[in-house]
Structure 1
Amino acid sequence: MAVDQQAVRRHLSEFVSSRRGVEAYVEPPTNVTATTVILIAHDGEWTRRAAGSRQAAFELAAGLGVPVYDVLQTGYPSRMREWNSRQRGKS
C-alpha cells in the first residue's frame, strides 16, 4: 500500500506547529505496519503516521525541523506513557 506522503507531511507539520517540544521517533516496520514516524509533544501527546521506509521516515522528521531518534535505540519517552495513562483515566 502506497503512503500519501503529502497527507502525512501535512498532518505531521500541523502537529509540530500546534504543539511545543515535539520530538520524532522512527519505528521499524512490523508484520502489519510500514515504517512509521511518531511525533511526541512536551506533554506526551502523540501522533503516528506511516512513512514508507526508514530513510523516508528520517528525512520526513528532519524536514519538520524537530529532533529525530530511532526508537529501537532510545525507547519511548516516559511522558508518552504518562499521557496514555491520563487519557485512559478520562474514559
Structure 2
Amino acid sequence: MGLFDALRRKRGKERPGTLRQASKQDTSHLDEWVNSHTGVEVYFEPRTNTTNSTVVLVAHDGEWTRRRIADFESAISFGKKRQIPVYEVARVGYPQRMRDYMAKQKREGRG
C-alpha cells in the first residue's frame, strides 16, 4: 500500500479538483441560523475557480455564517421563503456591521 492510498480512499467519490456541492446539511445550518438570529440578510457570493456559490448570512449585530448554495436563483428562493432580503456581494459589497464584527472579534482574540 502506497503512502497516498489511504488519503485517496478517504476522499470517497469526489475527484480531485471537483468542487463540493451544496448539501441538505448546508441548508439546515442556514435555516437554524436564520431562526436563531435577528435582522438577517443574505449576501450571495458567485462561484469562483476554487469555490462554488455561497451565501453569507449577516445578522443585525454583524455576526455571520457562510455556506454553499446552488446558484443565485436558489439564494433568492431561500430569502423569499424566509422573507429576508438578498443582495449580490459583487454589486453591494459586505455590510459595514460585518466588518466591524470581525474587527471586534480580532481585537478580543477570537478571530
TM-score of the aligned structures, taking structure 2 as reference length: 0.74
Greater Rg over alpha carbons, structure: 2
- Structure-1 residue corresponding to 2:22: 3
Deviation of 1:71 (Å): 1.2
- Structure-2 residue corresponding to 1:54: 72
SS at match of 1:38: strand
Which aligned pairs between 1:50-89 and structure 2 lie closer than 5 A? 50-89=68-107
- Which structure has more relative contact order (CA 8 Å, sep 6+)? It is 1
CA contact (8 A) 1:19 1:41 kept: yes
CA contact (8 A) 1:9 1:60 kept: no
Consecutive unaligned residues of structure 1, counting only runs of 5 or more, are none
Aligned residues: 90
Q: Matched residues in 1 for 2:71 and 2:86: separation?
A: 15
Consecutive unaligned residues of structure 2, counting only runs of 5 or more, are 1-19
TM-score of the aligned structures, taking structure 1 as reference length: 0.89
CA contact (8 A) 1:37 1:61 kept: no
